[in-house]
Amino acid sequence: MVDVSAKPYQLRIAKATGNICLQPDTLRLIRENQMKKGDVLAVAEIAGIQAAKRTGELIPLCHPLQLTKIDVKTEMIDTGIVVKSEVRCVGSTGVEMEALTAVSVALLTVYDMCKAVDKEMVIQGITLVEKTKQDI
C-alpha cells in the first residue's frame, strides 16, 4: 500500500455510475416485483452499500477507510437499470474505489437475481463520474 500518512485529512467524495441492459420481460418482472429472489432494486442497493464498506478487503492494495456516507441508487430505464453511487469520508486518501465497487456489486447483484430469466444481460459503462476533496 502507498504511504498516505503525510497527506492531510480532507473531505473526500466520489461518485460512480454503471448500467445493466435487460430484456423487456425482465424489466416487467422487476417492476411488478415478481422475481423469485425478491425485490431486485432494494437488494442491489443494499449489496452496493455493503460492498463499499468492504472494498479494502476486496482490492489488495486499497486502504481500509472509515466511510461517513454511502448512497447507492438504482433507476429503471427503458433498456435496463442504472446504478449510481456516492461515497464520502474524511481521510487522507480518496474513495473512488469504494464508489466503483458499490456500483459493480450492485450491478452483479441485479445480474444474479435475474440470471434465471434473462440470458442476454450486459453490464457496461462502470465509470467514475466525479471525485473531489475539500479542506476541513
Helix (H) or strand (E) holding 109: helix 96-114
Contact criterion met (CB below 8 Å) for 69 and 86: yes
Tell me the β-bridge partners of 89: 12, 67
Catalytic residue among 39, 78, 112, 135: 112
Burial letters for 75-108: b for 16+ Cβ neighbours within 10 Å, e otherwise? eeeeebbbbbbbbbbebbbbbbbbbbbbbbbbbb
112 is catalytic: yes
Q: Which residues pair with 74 in a beta bridge?
A: 83
- The rounded distance, in Å, linking the Cα atoms of 114 and 108 is 10
Q: Which residues are catalytic?
A: 112
